[in-house]
Structure 1
Amino acid sequence: MLVWERPEPQERPAPVPLSRERIVRAAIRLADADGLDAVSLRKVATELDVRPMRLYSYIDSKDELLDLMVDAAYAEIRPTGDTWREVLRSLAESTRHTVHEHEWFADLLGGRPQLGPHALACGESVVAALDGVGLDAVMPTVGAVNAYVIGAVRREIAGQRAERATGMDEKRWQAELGPYLRRQFATGRFPALSTVVRDAAHLDADETFRIGLECLLDGIEARISR
């Protein structure tokens, strides 16, 4: 029986009260502080000041714990809007915000389907907003937006992790690698890249995400209107 349908054990006298919610919140605190590598049943038990074996009354494995953590993150994704476009934009922006609140979430997005109650509620609100776009187009449309968001946020998180690991922020990176790029562009072999780097606006992460998302939504709208 999946964890979503399996009842929790009954309360029993104990020095430290326990529940799945408390276990998940403790795991999220560890992951927020030090990443997914910091999450284990032993470390969660230590965080809660209980014996590790006591956790197995509530969850069967670390995989179940990760599923519960992901569903808790989905509780923070609340798509809103009056049109399908507004809802999809809200889904994308809310997912991105949640990933930046919980960096570990980026590592767990895009794998197997998420079937927890919060994930299903999020999916229901999005699919309901797409009523009228054509039944066969609903899941590909949602999938396209999710794929864009997952790719964008993973790139952003990877950049942040690289910056922390190397101590090299964007300005320092440009200072160190700028001369190399100028030498390469001076060869004349990369005229298109040279023009873009030299003349195009240098957008920050928020602007890059927003413009890319609007391009995608424009394409979805054009297809729907055909």
Structure 2
Amino acid sequence: METKRRQFQGVLNILSFNRHFYIIGIGILALIIVSHQIFEWPDLLYRLVILAFLYGLLMPLLVSAYVYDFSGYYNFQWLKDCSADQSNATQILNINAGFDETSYIIKDNFPQADLKVFDFYDAKRHTEPAIIRARKVSLVYPDTQQIISNSIPVADQSADIIFLLSAVHEIRSHEEKILFLKECHRVCKTNGKVIMVEHLRDFPNFLAFSVGFTHFFSKSVWRNAFKSAGFTSFQEVKFTPFMSIFICTP
């Protein structure tokens, strides 16, 4: 299966999946411009408002291009920083929320391993419009199984590596996150790893996504969730200022 990404695919995904935000934002910007022609606005205020709206519309696209199109994220070179033993891994899980851009790439990096792919998306719980749109265009890895977030159909301590790549933030409930991570803890070998990649609710992502950064969770929230799920280690590796790789062991 060809895993080469198209040029600017990351930016195009952001535009497509979040188009409701951009339609609303452009509509409000048009109203502001029209109102300036009708009413007397202080020029400085008008310029500041226009710049703020342009910043809010363009900065997420620039950051997304940097992270998803130019940083090498989909080359998986960052795995070297995770101490993931690619030669000895025999069972790998990749768990997503219905949008899968990584399973074929993982299989290319671990050709000797048995890769199982699970999708925990629940239309009743995970209601973000962006993920609903993303599911419609996602690649589906062969034999991907639909699961509920608190039940992974794999034997205890059977997985060498569990990948959670830009997916678990779709679980909005903290209690549901803990139950999901408890399942990851159950199926992960004692010397295995959970490798999770997420944007954080932090200052760099605020600069990148403005109020949209509230869609993500802070490092302390993730640390608490992994600790509550029984994990004994929680290590962060930064991948660009906007993304964090968390390596956790049972």
Same fold (TM over 0.5): no
**TM-score of the aligned structures, taking structure 2 as reference length:** 0.23
**TM-score of the aligned structures, taking structure 1 as reference length:** 0.25
Which has the larger helix fraction? 1
Which entry has the higher C-alpha Rg, 1 or 2? 1
Which has the larger strand fraction? 2
